[in-house]
Amino acid sequence: MISSRARLSTIFLSMALLLAVATGCVQTPFPGAKPSGPVFAPPSASAEIAAMKERSDFWRDFESKLRIEVNGKNASFSSRAIVLVGAPDLIRFETFTPIGMTAALFVSAPTGPFLLIPSQNTIFTASRPETLARRFLGEGVPVDLFCHLLTASLPPKLLPNIQSRAEGPMLRLISKGPGGYLEWQIVSGALTRMFIGSARFEGQVSYDPPVRLAGESTPQTIRIASKGWSMVVRVEQMRTAREFNPSVFRLPVLPGMRRVDLDREK
C-alpha cells in the first residue's frame, strides 16, 4: 500500500512537471519594432545662429564675379556682372555688354545712389536705392539685403532679435519688424531657402545646392523670385576684400551725360 507521504510526493512531482511544460510553451515576446526611416536630432538654434553670425562677419566686405539672368515685364537680360561690397554702406554692381563694355553701373554710397546707363547717355538718381534697382533690374529688390543674399548670410543688425522654430530636421530663423518679415530655412547646417515679405518687395530665394554655414563656402546658384519676376545668379568667383579704392564708389565724371531724378517722375 502506498503511504500518504509517497502519494503527496507523486502529486507534487506531477504538478511540477505540468508547470514546467506549460512554461516552456509560452513564447518569448518579440522586441518592440524600431521606427523606420532616418531619426533626426533636433537642430540647435544657438549653434546655427552663431554660425550665421560668423559667416556674416567673414563676408562683411567682398567682391564677386557673376552671371545673371533677369526675366520680367520691366526688364529681361543676361549678363556678366561684378559686385563690390564694402560694409556697411558701399555697393557697386556693374553689368557688361557681350564685348565687355559697361552696360549698367549701380552704386550706393553715403553721398547717394546712382545708376549709369552709358547706352542711354544718362545718370539716374533717387533718394532710395530700391528705386534705381527697379529701373536697373525691373524689380525693387532691397539693395542692402541683396548683398547678403549673394553671400548666403544675414544682416548682423537683425541677429539680436532672431526667433527660431524647429520643424523636423529644418530650423527656421525668423525676423519680424516694422520693415517686414524675413525667414531663413536651414537643414543639416546648410541654408536652403529664404523668404522676404515687405511693402516694397515680396519674394523667395533658393540656393542650389544648399550653402553650408560653417567655413568659407560660397553659393553656386541663387534664384530670386517675386510675382512676375525672377533673377538667377550663378557665382563664378567670390572672395573677401581687404580694402577698395574709394573712387570705385564715386560718380564718374563723364561729359555730356544727362541726369534724371526718378523721384520727380513719380
* pLDDT band at residue 266 using 50, 70 and 90 as cut-offs: low
Angle CA 142–238–116, to nearest 5: 50
Residue 24 clears pLDDT 80, i.e. is over it: no
User: What pLDDT score does 1 carry?
Assistant: 45
Neighbours of 161 (CB within 10 A): 10
User: What pLDDT score does 235 carry?
Assistant: 98
* pLDDT band at residue 34 using 50, 70 and 90 as cut-offs: low
Residue 25 clears pLDDT 50, i.e. is over it: no
* pTM for this predicted structure: 0.82
User: What pLDDT score does 218 carry?
Assistant: 95
User: What pLDDT score does 157 carry?
Assistant: 87
Residue 265 clears pLDDT 90, i.e. is over it: no
| Domains, the chain, with CATH or none | 45-259 (2.50.20.10)
Q: 123 and 106 in contact (C-beta within 8 Å)? A: no
Top mean pLDDT of 25-29, 98-102, 255-259 is at 98-102
- Alpha-carbon distances, residue 257 vs 97, 117, 133, 243, 260 (angstroms): 19, 10, 20, 30, 10
Could you report the per-residue pLDDT of 50-80, keeping only the tens digit for each? 999 999 999 999 999 999 999 999 999 999 9
* Least reliable range by pLDDT among 18-22, 89-93, 94-98: 18-22
Strand partners, 167: 170
User: What pLDDT score does 198 carry?
Assistant: 87
What average pLDDT does the segment 212-236 reach? 94
Residue 6 clears pLDDT 70, i.e. is over it: no
